[in-house]
Structures are given as C-alpha cells and as structure tokens.
C-alpha cells in the first residue's frame, strides 16, 4: 500500500523564481509537485502551503506555525515532508526536534540550492530523497539533502554553492542513497509514548562568538536588554580570556542575574570539554552550562526552547543534561 505523505511548503530557493530584486519564493505546493509527477504515482500526497518566505525571514514565530502544522497533520499520514529554504533550515530542524517530542513518524525537511525549474537543479533529487525517508519509516525530524538523511538536530549548513550543502556534525547520517537504494547508516529510535507538541519558547537569547579581544563590557548589554539566555562560542575545547579583558567576572554577573549561559566550541567537529584547561575550569566555576558536542544551531534553539519550559537556570541546566532527539552525547 502506498504511503500517505503530507507536503508542507514554506518557500525557500526550491520555490523561487527571478524577480526585480533577485530570487524570491513564488511557487506553491501544487506547482512544486508538477515537477516531480512520478512521486504521485508512488505515494498518496496531499499538500498545503504553510508559509511563502525566504528562510532568512523564518524566525521563532514561524517555527511555531510549522510545528503546529506538522503536529496537526501527523495523525492522518505516514510521514510529513517540509520544503524550506537552506539558510536557516538547520535552525528550524533543530527547533522542531525539541517542539515535537516522541515522534514515531518521519518529519523530513528538504530544499535546494537551485530553484526547481532550473535545468541543473538539485530540487528533484532532494524531494525524492525526502519521500524515500518517509517510505523507509525513519522516525523523528531529519534533513534530506544531497542523497543523505541527516538527523535534524545534527544538520549544519556548510556550503553556500555546493549541492552538498549540509553536514551531519558529530553524528553519522541516518541514511544515504546509493545505486542500490536507500541504506540505513545509523539507528533513529522512534519515540516512546504519545507524540507531544511543546511549542513554548523564549526569543530573548543571544549568540556570541568570541574573538581574542572581546570586551567584557559587551556582557553588560545582555543585562540591560533583559536577555534570559546567552550561547557563547568559546575557543577550542573550551576557553575564555581573563587576562586584560576579564570575561570570567562577567559570567558570574550573568549567573547572579539568573541568565542562563551555555558554552560550546567554535570548532565544528568534536565536543567541548571545559574541564581540560584552567580557562575552561574557571568558566565552569561561574556556572556555565556545557553544550558538549551539540551544534551551535541546536544549542541556540534548545536554549530558546528550554527557557520556554522553565524560568530558572537550574531548570535549563537539567534540560541540557537530557538528550531529547539525539542532539547531545552525554
């Protein structure tokens, strides 16, 4: 029996056409499907436009819209495919991984580097890959791109022009397409219990990438602007400078003010470990929360989501010590 699939579209390059100001989303879901009529012969497909935006304009408010559309559609379908622009797809896929807990069905995001009506587009193969993930019954949120299925909270955009735009960071791909079909590469355990929508979040979160001259006074702005959480991309395995420009004392001020500070590494691969060096241990003493091997996108969205679930630093700490969707190795 053919799998029933709901296609939700949100805009992005895959649906774009040239305009006076450059590429902009234009095509609706029916138009997208007209470029891949063979999918309709293999699957029972319903489609709906949720948004029509360049993904640079997809923000927390839109994440909630997408999550609710997915949640409402889950009971009637074997899986859901969401088309999305590539620029913020990793943020959306990470946030959906937290908002939609205990998923037992596939929710697959995909898009393209070229519009679907371009002769050399990657859109058609990416759509086929996404639908194959539904056919294979790979549960949870994932990203289908360049013949790979990547866990949603491990996907990172690493190329602006190449068709291999996304990497699976600190985790193997869930599946890959070869000449003999889709091969499962890593288990993706289905959620246990009832799928739950938890879409409460807090947008008062800032991401700071350190450079060797970051000024401590910058941290005062987090207090004056009423931020509730900060993600700091620190150096290497985990370090912040405290000579001449003392960032450590500012971390203590944030902790005392009830602002959750999550730290991760600027390095794309492998985990942070703030216990290795003095500069990291001193930061841990100031109460920072380690993101370990999480991607920056997952750390930012998980912090937003955590602050929507609780209002204390200790509550956030407990959430970051929990693996919800394969986003962290504990």
In this structure, what CATH number is given to the domain that contains residue 59?
3.40.50.1170
Q: Are residues 121 and 224 in the same domain?
A: no
- Distance of alpha carbon 298 from the chain centroid: 6
Question: Are residues 329 and 292 in contact, defined by beta-carbon separation less than 8 angstroms?
Answer: yes
Give the domain-ending residue among 170, 197, 224: 197
Task: Please give the annotated binding residues for substrate, written as ranges.
Answer: 55, 86-87
Task: Please give the annotated binding residues, written as ranges.
Answer: 55, 86-87
pLDDT tens string 169-228 = 999 999 999 999 999 998 776 677 899 999 999 999 999 999 999 999 999 999 999 999
Give the domain-ending residue among 197, 230, 253: 197
- Least Cα distance to 309 among 70, 96, 61, 98 occurs for 98
Q: Are residues 100 and 244 in the same domain?
A: no
Give the domain-ending residue among 172, 197, 222: 197
Separation of alpha carbons 89 and 313, rounded Å: 28
Burial of 252 (0-12, 13-18, 19+ CB in 10 A): middle
pLDDT tens string 104-142 = 999 999 999 999 999 999 999 999 999 999 999 999 999
Q: Is residue 330 part of a domain?
A: no
Separation of alpha carbons 33 and 40, rounded Å: 8
Q: Are residues 192 and 217 in the same domain?
A: no
For 291, the domain range is 205-320
Mean pLDDT of 276-288: 87
Q: Is residue 326 part of a domain?
A: no
Q: Are residues 188 and 311 in the same domain?
A: no
Q: Are residues 235 and 157 in the same domain?
A: no
Question: Are residues 92 and 84 in contact, defined by beta-carbon separation less than 8 angstroms?
Answer: yes
Q: Are residues 165 and 129 in the same domain?
A: yes
The residues carrying an active-site annotation are 13, 86
Q: Are residues 280 and 157 in the same domain?
A: no
Residues 6+ apart with CB under 8 A from 112: 12, 13, 14, 86, 121, 122, 123, 126
Instruction: Tell me what pLDDT residue 276 has.
Output: 87
pLDDT tens string 66-107 = 999 999 999 999 999 999 999 999 999 999 999 999 999 999
Q: Is residue 168 part of a domain?
A: yes
Q: Are residues 191 and 230 in the same domain?
A: no
- Least Cα distance to 47 among 62, 64, 32 occurs for 32
pLDDT tens string 25-49 = 999 999 999 999 999 999 999 999 9
Q: Are residues 185 and 219 in the same domain?
A: no
Q: Are residues 187 and 237 in the same domain?
A: no
Alpha-carbon distances, residue 52 vs 11, 24, 143, 176, 203 (angstroms): 4, 9, 19, 29, 22
Q: Is residue 25 part of a domain?
A: yes
Q: Is residue 327 part of a domain?
A: no
Both tokens of 17, joined, read: 């056409």
Q: Is residue 98 part of a domain?
A: yes
């Amino acid at each position: 029996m053919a799998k029933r699939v709901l296609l939700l579209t949100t805009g992005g390059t895959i649906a774009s056409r040239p305009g006076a100001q450059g590429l902009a989303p234009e095509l609706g879901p029916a138009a997208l499907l007209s470029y891949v009529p063979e999918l309709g012969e293999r699957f029972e497909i319903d489609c709906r436009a949720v948004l029509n935006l360049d993904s640079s304009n997809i923000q927390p408010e839109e994440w909630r819209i997408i999550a609710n559309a997915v949640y409402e559609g889950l009971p009637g379908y074997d899986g859901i495919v969401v088309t999305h622009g590539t620029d913020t797809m990793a943020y959306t896929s990470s946030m959906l991984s937290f908002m939609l807990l205990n998923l037992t069905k596939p929710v697959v995001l995909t898009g393209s580097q070229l519009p679907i009506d371009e002769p050399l587009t990657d859109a058609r193969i990416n759509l086929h890959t996404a639908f194959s993930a539904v056919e294979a019954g790979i549960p949870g949120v994932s990203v289908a791109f360049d013949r790979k299925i990547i866990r949603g909270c491990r996907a990172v955009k690493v190329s602006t022009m190449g068709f291999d735009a996304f990497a699976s960071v600190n985790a193997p791909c869930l599946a890959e397409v070869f000449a003999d079909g889709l091969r499962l590469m890593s288990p993706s355990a289905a959620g246990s219990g009832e799928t739950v929508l938890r879409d409460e979040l807090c947008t008062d979160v800032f991401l700071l990438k350190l450079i060797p001259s970051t000024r401590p006074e910058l941290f005062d702005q987090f207090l004056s602007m009423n931020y509730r959480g900060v993600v700091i991309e620190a150096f290497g395995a985990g370090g912040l400078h405290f000579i001449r420009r003392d960032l450590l004392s500012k971390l203590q001020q944030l902790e005392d003010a009830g602002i959750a500070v999550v730290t991760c590494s600027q390095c794309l691969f492998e985990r942070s470990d703030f216990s290795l060096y003095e500069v990291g241990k001193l930061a841990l003493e100031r109460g920072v929360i380690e993101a370990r091997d999480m991607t920056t996108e997952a750390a930012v969205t998980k912090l937003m989501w955590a602050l929507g679930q609780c209002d204390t630093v200790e509550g956030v700490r407990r959430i970051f010590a929990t693996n919800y969707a394969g986003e962290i190795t504990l």
